[in-house]
C-alpha cells in the first residue's frame, strides 16, 4: 500500500518557527518531525510514500532524498499553486492505482494504521476517516456516526450549540482510488469540506475509525511545546526514546558538575552546560548549544546552536536555531524565530513572538 503525506502547507500557525523552514523539518526531540512519520508508516509495512509538497517544502526533498536511508521509497509530487488537501492528492493520482492512505503532515500519532486498513476493507468502505477524541472540538471537524461506524454527518468547526460528539477528524484517511474521479484536476479542493460531504450525499460508504491512540496537531507553538512535554514524560509514545524522568546527554557534550538537572531532559550532541546552571524538565536542548553559568531553563525547547549567556532565565518558551539570549535577560512564554538576539537585561512579555533575525532590546 502507498501513503500520501500532505506537506505543502505554509505552516502559518506555527510561525515564527516556520518562517524559514517547512513544518516537516521542525525538530521534535532533536530529529525532524517528518522522520517520526516515516518510521511510523514503515513499522506498519508501508514503504511507498508520496510527498505532496509545494515550493514551501523543497528542503524536505534535499534532506530525505529517495528515502532509502529510512528503509522506504519516497516520491515527490509538486504543486505549483495551493490545491487544498484533496487537490494535492489528485495531483499525485498517477501513483495511486490501489487502496491508499492519506495523512496530514502536521499530525503526530501512534495510530494503528494496519488495524485501520483492516477495518476499511472489512466494511468495503470507499473512504475511512480516523477519529480521535478531544476536549474541545470547536476548532476541528467533528464527525457523527451510526453504531456500525458509518458516517452520518460532518460538522466543520462547530459552534458550542452544535457539539454532539467529541470525536473529530484525526487527519488520517484510507481511500479507494475510484473516489479520485470526484476531485477536479488542478483545482483547490478539500477533503473535509467538499469531497467527503459530497460522497456522503451520494450514499457512498464512508466510515469512521475511532481510536484512543496518542494524537497531537503540532500546528501551533503551544501544541508543539505540549508534544515535547508529552513525549518526554512518556505518555505511551512507543516510537520515541527518552522516557520517564530520565536525563539523556548527547555525545561530546560537557555538563559542569555544579549544574542541577531534574528530568526529563534531552541534551543534544556537542552542547555545553555551565557552572551552576539549573535545568528543570521537560527540557530539550539542540546540538551545539551553549548554556552559561547560573542559567535557569524550565519547560522549554531549544533548537541547534543556541547560546544562553550568564544568568538568563528561560521558561515555557521555544528558541529556534541560532538564537542568543544575552546576559541577565528573562524570557517567559515566548517563541523566537531563528537567529534572534535578546539584549542583555531585557525582559520579554509572555506571549512574545519574534520573527527570525531580529534583536530585542
The predicted model gives 354-359 an average pLDDT of 80
The predicted model gives 129-150 an average pLDDT of 84
The C-alpha cell of 118 is what?
A: 483492516
Q: Does residue 241 form part of some domain?
A: no
Do 179 and 32 reside in the same domain of the chain? yes
Query: Given a cut of 50, is residue 38 above it in pLDDT?
Result: yes
Which secondary structure element, helix H or strand E, spans residue 283, and what is its range? strand 278-285
Do residues 315 and 300 touch, judged by C-beta distance below 8 A?
A: yes
Q: Does residue 262 form part of some domain?
A: yes
Which domain covers residue 335, as residue numbers? 247-360
Active site residue 126: no
Report in angstroms the alpha-carbon separations of 3 from 98, 101, 174, 175: 11, 4, 9, 10
User: Which of 157, 235, 262, 360 is flagged as catalytic?
Assistant: 157
Query: Given a cut of 70, is residue 248 above it in pLDDT?
Result: yes
Q: Output DSSP code: residue 349.
A: P
Query: Given a cut of 50, is residue 244 above it in pLDDT?
Result: no
d(CA 173, CA 13): 23
**Higher local confidence (pLDDT), 314 or 51:** 314
Query: Given a cut of 70, is residue 242 above it in pLDDT?
Result: no
Report in angstroms the alpha-carbon separations of 306 from 271, 289, 340, 355: 9, 5, 10, 16
Number of structural domains (the chain) is 2
Do 280 and 173 reside in the same domain of the chain? no
pTM score over 0.85: yes
Do 184 and 313 reside in the same domain of the chain? no
Query: Given a cut of 70, is residue 94 above it in pLDDT?
Result: yes
Do 201 and 69 reside in the same domain of the chain? yes
Within a 13 Å sphere around the CA of 338, how many CA atoms are in the beta-carbon half? 11
pLDDT for 123 equals 94
Amino acid at each position: 500500500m502507498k501513503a500520501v503525506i500532505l506537506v505543502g502547507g505554509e505552516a502559518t500557525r506555527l510561525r515564527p518557527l516556520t518562517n524559514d523552514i517547512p513544518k516537516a523539518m521542525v525538530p521534535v526531540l532533536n530529529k525532524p518531525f517528518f522522520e517520526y512519520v516515516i518510521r511510523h508508516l514503515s513499522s506498519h509495512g508501508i514503504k511507498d510514500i508520496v510527498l505532496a509538497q509545494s515550493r514551501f517544502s523543497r528542503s524536505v526533498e534535499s534532506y530525505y532524498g529517495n528515502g532509502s536511508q529510512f528503509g522506504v521509497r519516497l516520491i515527490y509530487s509538486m504543486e505549483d499553486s495551493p490545491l487544498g488537501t484533496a487537490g494535492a492528492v489528485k495531483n499525485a493520482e498517477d501513483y495511486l492505482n490501489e487502496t491508499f492512505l492519506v495523512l496530514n503532515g502536521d499530525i503526530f500519532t501512534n495510530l494503528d494504521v494496519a488495524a485501520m486498513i483492516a477495518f476499511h476493507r472489512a466494511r468495503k468502505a470507499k473512504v475511512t476517516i480516523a477519529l480521535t477524541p478531544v476536549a474541545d472540538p470547536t476548532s476541528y471537524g467533528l464527525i457523527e456516526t451510526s453504531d456500525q461506524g458509518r458516517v452520518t454527518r460532518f460538522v466543520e468547526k462547530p459552534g458550542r450549540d452544535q457539539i454532539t460528539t467529541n470525536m473529530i477528524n484525526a487527519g488520517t484517511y484510507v481511500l479507494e482510488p475510484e473516489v479520485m474521479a470526484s476531485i477536479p484536476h488542478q483545482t483547490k479542493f478539500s477533503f473535509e469540506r467538499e469531497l467527503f460531504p459530497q460522497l456522503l450525499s451520494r450514499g457512498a460508504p464512508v466510515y469512521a475509525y475511532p481510536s484512543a491512540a496518542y494524537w497531537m496537531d503540532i500546528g501551533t507553538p503551544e501544541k508543539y511545546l505540549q508534544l515535547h512535554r508529552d513525549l518526554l514524560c512518556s505518555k505511551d509514545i512507543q516510537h520515541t526514546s527518552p522516557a520517564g524522568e530520565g536525563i539523556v546527554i548527547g555525545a561530546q557534550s560537557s555538563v559542569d558538575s555544579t549544574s542541577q538537572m531534574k528530568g526529563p531532559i534531552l541534551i543534544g550532541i556537542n552542547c555545553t552546560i555551565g557552572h551552576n546552571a539549573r535545568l528543570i524538565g521537560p527540557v530539550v536542548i539542540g546540538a551545539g548549544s551553549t548554556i552559561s553559568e547560573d542559567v535557569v531553563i524550565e519547560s522549554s525547547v531549544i533548537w541547534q546552536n543556541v547560546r544562553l549567556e550568564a544568568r538568563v532565565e528561560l521558561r515555557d518558551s521555544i528558541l529556534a536555531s541560532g538564537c542568543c539570549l544575552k546576559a541577565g535577560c528573562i524570557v517567559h512564554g515566548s517563541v523566537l524565530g531563528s537567529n534572534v538576539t535578546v539584549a542583555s537585561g531585557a525582559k520579554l512579555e509572555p506571549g512574545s513572538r519574534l520573527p527570525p533575525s531580529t534583536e530585542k532590546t
